[in-house]
Amino acid sequence: MNMKVVYSSIYSKHDPPHFPHIENSTRLELALDALGEVEVLSPEGAGDPLEVHDGTYVEMVRRASEAEEQIDIDTYTNRFTYESALMALGGAFTAYKVEGIALVRPPGHHAGRYGRAMGAPTQGFCIFNNIAYAASKAEGRVAIIDFDVHHGNGTQEIFYLDPKVLHIDLHQDPSTIYPGTGFPFETGDGEGKGTKVNILFPPGGGDDLVLEVIPFIQSLLDQFKPDVVGFSAGFDGFSGDGLASLEFTEASFEALGGLREKRRWFAVLEGGYSVGLRRGLPAFVRGVERKPEEPRPKESKSEVKMKFTRSLEETKYHLRERWKL
Ligand SMILES: [Zn+2]
């Protein structure tokens, strides 16, 4: 069985209108190329952004797109952005239905209900929150595993009070990188308390740290018993991808894909700009398909490892009331 990939040419029409930008249409060519032979499906239609966003924000995006205006210093629009973003929502939901990967643009995990989320300086290239849309339309309990190198602040904000969504977010230490959120003490609120999990990697962190944290994530999943696992799949943590300082390689992305185990799953593309798409994305697919090649993990320096262990202890400390750890 071939991997199912949800793609539409409209996703490649959202492109920077005035200046070069790292988040551009060549990314999806790179991703499709890296995956080789796959079954390409079209999104079943546009999604309704009001499911996860406020009407005033949706209208602002529509107008900005019409005028090809920047939303902020990081986040551009062109005249295809609005339609592309609506179809990206639909594509994420299609991926949920068919158990495949949505290769969508614009990306989504930094987009909160009103746009910028949790006081972030910008929307970080994101327009509508694709993974949040698919999760909100999914049946039953959803575990979102966001392994983009940046914190999924939009997703966390949208589901902060929602106990039906377990959001586990792995990212570079937010005191060293955009958007500056996603600390261990951010665990959700009200009934959702304890269902938002932030796992931080110090700059320089390698595959050994990801492998160390896998059993912890497995234990959360075993206790939560999700009906579906949705991956907010960013590949910008890959060593040398360009925007961050982590040193993940194939070993990390294979192991992260393997977290699916035998559960229903789907994935939605977030970041990943060069080598991450070329090498991280196919490794993730091998993990999901349970055909691992188990490449040699890249080791972190001992001081990085020590920082990570301390930070993981802090994450567990803040979760101790909800989970057996
Ligand atoms: Zn990212």
The string of pLDDT tens digits covering residues 248-262 is 999 999 999 999 999
Tell whether 181 is covered by a domain: yes
Query: Ligand 1 centre from 324 Cα, in Å?
Result: 30
Query: Ligand 1 centre from 9 Cα, in Å?
Result: 22
Q: Cα Rg for the chain, rounded, in angstroms?
A: 18
Confidence of residue 39 (pLDDT cuts 50, 70, 90): very high
**Residue 119 pLDDT exceeds 70:** yes
Query: Ligand 1 centre from 261 Cα, in Å?
Result: 25
Tell whether 89 is covered by a domain: yes
Strand residue runs (E) in the chain: 4-6, 39-41, 101-102, 111-112, 115-116, 142-146, 165-172, 196-201, 228-233, 265-269
How much is the average pLDDT of 24-49? Answer: 97
Q: What is the pLDDT of residue 102?
A: 98
Query: Ligand 1 centre from 200 Cα, in Å?
Result: 14
Backbone angles phi, psi at 79, to 5 degrees: -70, -10
Q: What's the structural domain count of the chain?
A: 1
Q: What is the pLDDT of residue 2?
A: 86
Q: Rounded to an integer, what distance in angstroms lies between the CA atom of residue 116 and that of residue 121?
A: 7
> 87 or 325: whose pLDDT is higher?
87
Name the β-bridge partners of 267: 101, 231
By percentage, how much of the chain surpasses pLDDT 90?
Answer: 98
277, 235 contact by CB (below 8 A): yes
Chain mean pLDDT for the chain: 97
Q: What is the pLDDT of residue 1?
A: 58
Tell whether 105 is covered by a domain: yes
How much is the average pLDDT of 292-317? Answer: 97
Query: Ligand 1 centre from 148 Cα, in Å?
Result: 5
**Residue 148 pLDDT exceeds 70:** yes
Q: What is the CATH number for 120?
A: 3.40.800.20
183, 198 contact by CB (below 8 A): yes
Tell whether 187 is covered by a domain: yes
195, 321 contact by CB (below 8 A): no
Tell whether 325 is covered by a domain: no
pLDDT, tens digit (0-9, with 9 covering 90-100), for 50-96: 999 999 999 999 999 999 999 999 999 999 999 999 999 999 999 99
Tell whether 324 is covered by a domain: no
Q: What is the pLDDT of residue 241?
A: 98
Q: What is the pLDDT of residue 277?
A: 98
Confidence of residue 315 (pLDDT cuts 50, 70, 90): very high
User: Which residues constitute the domain of residue 119?
Assistant: 4-319
> Annotated active-site positions, please?
110
**Residue 284 pLDDT exceeds 90:** yes
